[in-house]
Amino acid sequence: MHRRHLFPFLLLCTMISWRGQAAAFHQSPPFITVDEFVALHPEQHSLMQTFSQIVAQPGVKQGKIHKKRIKIAVIYPDIQVSDYWRRSLHSFIERLDEIGINHSVTEYSSKTSNEYKAQFGQVQNALEDDPDYLILTFDIFRHKTLVERLLKRKRPKIILQNILTPLRDWEGFQPFMYVAFDHTIGARLLADYFTMRTGGKGTYGLLYFPTGYVNTMRSDTFRNLMERTSIKLVKSAHTDSTVADAAKAAREILSHQTVDFIYATSTDIALGAIKAIKQRHQSGKVLINGWGGGSAELKALMKGDLDVTIMRMNDDNGVAMAEGIRLDQEGRGDTVPTIYSGEMVLIEKGIAPHDLEMLIKRAFRYSGKPSLDIPIHDHKVTK
């Protein structure tokens, strides 16, 4: 089939099949955990360790500068308050430049990973330029067939971002890389925090991310862990992951229930919940978490509006993708691990300014210190 006609065919197949995949999702786990994947592929353990050391170090040009221009297409849901995706792209490009990769990066933006129709069109546009690498995130239900068919074509090489757990159906032809911060680890850290703060007893509300992979990893993991405690979920609500919709959903929870905390599953959802908590005069009474530790969350944390968040060492994921491409272009693609998992740290309101400044320096080493409007060195620590 001619490449010009290939994408409409992929689109049709994907839209027909995603409903069946969604139904099967809850029957058997489609994902392989990181530990399980390493057990199945023992050689990955040493590859992951060595590669993590490369990512942590400053970029170094290996040998001669690459003269061939590498074409890279990036499809990101970066139209949101969270600056995770924008910082990721910035660190990715900065590292490519630092290590001497001659590149052309084309970015396609959307609001969330659930804008799948728009993203299908973006993939089509990207493929028309015949890129060497395609970087994207995806909703397991709607995008699986599309990505699967691209994998079988073997060009472009696929890097899946914000997704850490390989798909079982893709064993034998996995993407070039999965690059992410482990959503389940983040959920466990937050579950431990809320269990500690409540003494293992109390009630909570939950604001869901749009249905899909991220929601499953962040929400289901947290709920399962809470069920092992005496902390009860009294009300939950699905959101479109915008501040306005999350605020509306949080107001609904607060107007009908008394809760000790609201569990938010993204930055924009957390900011919406903060807005609702303030409107209901519940500040200091209802705990709220963030997710990611980007600029907006750190500002809310410093102001005392946010109680806790999971802070990603954000720029490491952009560095990992750049280094993976470098090794591949040098003919050492077999030294690139299938999975790169970045580091995350739980931080609370009242963190010592020096400690926060050190984390910011690590997390945003390429994309730059965020503007918090509150000088870190002047911030008074409150417990």
Output the pLDDT for position 9: 38
* Residue linked to tokens 């499953």: 216
What would you report as the CA-atom Rg of the chain, rounded to the nearest whole angstrom? 21
Both tokens of 382, joined, read: 């409150």
> Could you state, in order of their start, the residue ranges of all structural domains in the chain?
3-23+31-178+315-340, 184-312
Contacts for 95 with CB less than 8 Å, ≥ 6 apart: 59, 318, 319, 322, 323, 366
Output the pLDDT for position 379: 31
For residue range 180-230, what is the model confidence (pLDDT) as tens digits? 999 999 999 999 999 999 999 999 999 998 877 888 889 999 999 999 999
Output the pLDDT for position 256: 81
Give the CATH fold of the 3-23+31-178+315-340 domain.
Rossmann fold (3.40.50)
Output the pLDDT for position 88: 92
* Residue linked to tokens 């609370």: 348
Both tokens of 10, joined, read: 């992929």
Sheet holding 339-341, edge to edge: 101-109, 66-76, 133-136, 157-161, 177-180, 339-341
Number of residues written out for the chain: 383
Cβ atoms of 317 and 179 within 8 Å: the answer is yes
Contacts for 331 with CB less than 8 Å, ≥ 6 apart: none
Rounded Cα distance, 349 and 353, in Å: 11
Predicted structure pTM score: 0.83
Cβ atoms of 311 and 347 within 8 Å: the answer is yes
Type of residue at 277 = I
Both tokens of 175, joined, read: 């993407």
Rounded Cα distance, 16 and 27, in Å: 19
Q: What is the mean pLDDT of each run of 10 residues along the chain (383 residues)?
A: 44 39 51 90 96 95 74 85 86 95 90 64 86 83 76 90 88 93 94 96 94 86 96 94 93 91 95 95 94 92 95 96 95 95 95 93 90 44 27
Give the CATH fold of the 184-312 domain.
Rossmann fold (3.40.50)
- Identify any residues that bridge with 348 across adjacent strands, giving them in sequence order: 308
Task: Work out the burial of residue 13: count CB atoms within 10 Å of its CB; fewer than 13 is exposed, 13-18 middle, 19 or more buried.
Answer: middle
Please give the angle made by the CA atoms of 228, 231 and 235, to the nearest 5 degrees: 115
Q: What is the 3-state secondary structure (H, E, C) of the chain?
A: CCHHHHHHHHHHHHHHHHHHHHHHHCCCCCECCHHHHHHHCCHHHHHHHHHHHHHHCCCCCCCCCEEEEEEEEEEECCCCCCCHHHHHHHHHHHHHHHCCEEEEEEEEECCCCCCHHHHHHHHHHHHHCCCCEEEECCCHHHHHHHHHHHHHHCCCEEEEECCCCCEHHHCCCCCCEEEECCHHHHHHHHHHHHHHHHCCEEEEEEEECCCCHHHHHHHHHHHHHHCCCEEEEEEEEECCCCHHHHHHHHHHHHHHCCCCEEEECCHHHHHHHHHHHHHCCCCCCCEEECCECCHHHHHHHHHCCCCEEEEECCCHHHHHHHHHHHHHHCCCHHHCCCEEECCEEEEECCCCHHHHHHHHHHHCCCCCCCCCCCCHHHCCCCC
For residue range 232-274, what is the model confidence (pLDDT) as tens digits? 999 999 998 889 999 999 999 998 889 999 999 999 999 999 9
Cβ atoms of 297 and 310 within 8 Å: the answer is no
Contacts for 64 with CB less than 8 Å, ≥ 6 apart: none
C-alpha 109: how far from its chain's center? 15
Are domains 3-23+31-178+315-340 and 184-312 of this chain identical in fold? Answer: yes
Output the pLDDT for position 215: 86
